[in-house]
Chains A and B, each alone.
Chain A
Amino acid sequence: MVRAEALDAMEFPELSNQFRVQGVPQTVINSGGGIVVGAYPEAQMLAEVRRAMGA
């Protein structure tokens, strides 16, 4: 049910452009359902994932 990918932003410019990656790390939740720029603490990241999933 959960998949996680780390992607080299430089090697996959099409995806980086699609999600407007300007700084790293940037986490894209469900292909744009949510976008988190920067390294968030676990609790905040969880809140963003919940929000993106409408949970």
Chain B
Amino acid sequence: MLALTYHRSVPAFALVRASGGNPEVATSALSMLHLGDVPEPELPAAGWMRVMPSLSGVCGSDLAAIGGHASLYLDPLTSYPFVPGHEVVGVLEEGSRVVIEPALGCVVRGIEPLCPRCAEGRPGLCYNATEGPIEVGLQTGYCASTGGGWGEVLVAHPSQVHAVPATLSDEAAVLIEPLACCVHAALRGGAAKSDVVVVVGAGTIGLLTVAAVKMFTPPKRLIAVAKHPTQRDLAMALGADAVITPGDAFQRIRFATAARRLDGVDRSLLLGGADITFECVGRADSLSDAVRFTREGGVVVAVGMPGDERVDWAAIWQRELTVMGAYAYGSEPKRKGRRTFELALEAAPELRLERLVGPLFSLGDYRDAIAYAMSAGRLGAVKVAFDLRGLRA
């Protein structure tokens, strides 16, 4: 089958990283990413099924891996070579449309009894990511055994498969996985009606977090921090009460929260500030700002995938912040244990997610796709995706 494959290569990783993630280098013959004909993944156990991806998104975590700035922490949790792509809408062999819930927890791996985290309904935190009939990996799209959305076929456990209602287009359904991440993040953050909430970053994760917070935990005021005009418009359309630029963040959040602002040597800080901040960029600058404009005793939720970023922990320490990660999805105790994917699928129609998707690229144009995705915000795009429907025809 035709697929893009990510190979583990320290020299290639070093080269791409040295280039600063330049897309020309990151998709060159010397990079980790290669397009080619590879064997279809085998069904690992009885009950697994073949899924033919229709659309598969290019996620920030994919770009981090391809651009050489992913955290090396994830390396031992990944098996190589793998076919990337974990934001997938596809069809089963019998023709029904499905989206894939990529987390590879105990249930998917056929492990009994479930590890404590999987028993809690948190398969993204599975202790057994190295066990079972498939290779090590946290998710489909980072596991050598399962294939991924950037190939013609992947294999999935029945528990990973969610039917897509006919009313939801492929373009909207391809965002169910990131929307589920953001619903999970919103519920983790648990904003109250009296809170001022800030969502930093307005890429896919930032925008969907805005939407999820607005729908699931509507606060008193929801402020989005967005850099580009299209992002600003979408943030407002998805429910932000105000959209501000990164440069204005301290001033505008100070005003919204009636905090006090002090200007330090390197950056400002607020005395007071946002009750909850969802950090959806994952970079040092953004994280450093977030811990300075979130109020003392407040909560910072890391939603965007961070790498090895330098953040001054003094603010976290002195402000007694609760910094929590929000990774993946599962079952939501604050929603009577319902699956996050179910919540996302229910929420999706109202959000008109297709407006966030495009342009679409064929696998053969992956270099253009990656380059476009790396500059999506500047180019007015949100979710760049591969369109594999042509391969089936």
Q: Do A and B bind each other?
A: no
Chain B interface (Cβ within 8 Å of chain A)? none
